[in-house]
Amino acid sequence: MPYPFPGMNPYLEQPAFWSSVHSRLIVALADAVAPQILPHYYIEVETRTYSEDSELLIGIPDAVVLTQGAVEKSPLATSPAVALQSRPQTVQIPIGLEVKERYLEVRNTVTNSVVTVIELLSPVNKRPGKGRVTYEDKRQKILASTAHLIEIDLLRAFAPMPLQQDNLSWDYRILISRSEQRPQADLYGFNLQEPIPCFPLPLKDPEENIEINLQDILEALYDQAGYEYRIDYQQPLLPPALSFAN
C-alpha cells in the first residue's frame, strides 16, 4: 500500500504513533539537511528536558469493592467486640514526569554559534499546561536572538502557536522566521488534502539557503518504519475531526 495521503497522514498524529514519528522525523530531517550545508555549517540533534505533572489516579480499596457486591458477611464482622485490622490501600501519587523533546540546531562550523533552530511541535508543546509555557518561553528567546526559527506544526489538535493574526485557519503550519525580517515571518499554511510545501532553510548568507522537501522525508520515513503494516485504516481517527471542507 503506497503512502495514502497527498500530504500529512492524520493517523500518524495519534498518540500511539506520534512519539515515534517525532523522533524519526527529527533525525531524518537532520540527515537530509547535513550533506547540503557542510562544510560551513553542521546540524545537531538537541534535547530539551523538563518536568510535567502526571495525572492523579486514585486507588480503590478492596473493602469498598467488596461492599458493593452481595457478599456473605463473616461472623467476625457482626461482632462489635472484634476490631478489624486496617489494610493498606494501593494508591498513586502525583509526581513530575520527565519529558524529553528533541529539536535541531544548525551551527556555524567555525564559531559553533546557532544559526537556525528547527522545532517540530508535539502535543506537550501545544496543549495548555507547563509544556506549552516552557516552549513559548523558549520560542520568545529564539525570536529575541539572532538565530532564525523554523517551526513545524503537523498536529491538528490544540491551539496553534500565537501570531498577530488570529483569523488564519489551516490544518497544518510551517513558520519561517528570519532574524533580519522580524516581526515579519513567512507562514506556510496547508490542509489535509494538500502536499506539505517545500520551504527554505535560512542560513547566515541568503545565497547559502537550501530547500527542504518535508513531504519526501515523511514518505520515506513512513516506508522505513513500516507504518503501512502497523496502522489500521479501518479504525476511526481520534479527535479532532477531519476538515474535508477546507
Quote the cell numbers at residue 217.
522525508
| Span 74-95, pLDDT tens digits | 444 445 555 677 889 888 776 6
What is the per-residue pLDDT for 244?
59
500518524: which residue's cell? 12
The pLDDT of residue 94 is 67
Q: What is the model's pLDDT at position 61? A: 32
Per-residue confidence band for 172, with pLDDT thresholds at 50, 70 and 90: very high
* Helices 15-37 & 214-224 angle (0-180, nearest 10): 120
pLDDT tens for 138-165 read: 999 999 999 999 999 999 999 999 998 7
**Residue of 228 and 52 predicted with greater confidence:** 228
The string of DSSP letters for 94-107 reads --EEEEEEEEEEEE
The reported pLDDT for the residue numbered 166 is 72
Statement: residue 41 has pLDDT above 80: yes
- Percent of the chain clearing pLDDT 70 (strictly above): 83
pTM reported for the whole predicted model? 0.81
* pLDDT band, residue 97 (cuts 50/70/90): low
Q: What is the pLDDT of residues 10-31, one digit of tens each?
A: 999 999 999 999 999 999 999 9
Long-range pairs for 89-93 at CB < 8 Å and ≥24 separation?
Answer: 89/59, 89/61, 89/62, 90/59, 91/58, 91/59, 92/56, 92/57, 92/58, 92/59, 93/56
pLDDT value of position 96 = 63
CA gap 35, 201 in Å, rounded = 13
pLDDT at 168: 78
Q: What is the mean pLDDT of the chain?
A: 85
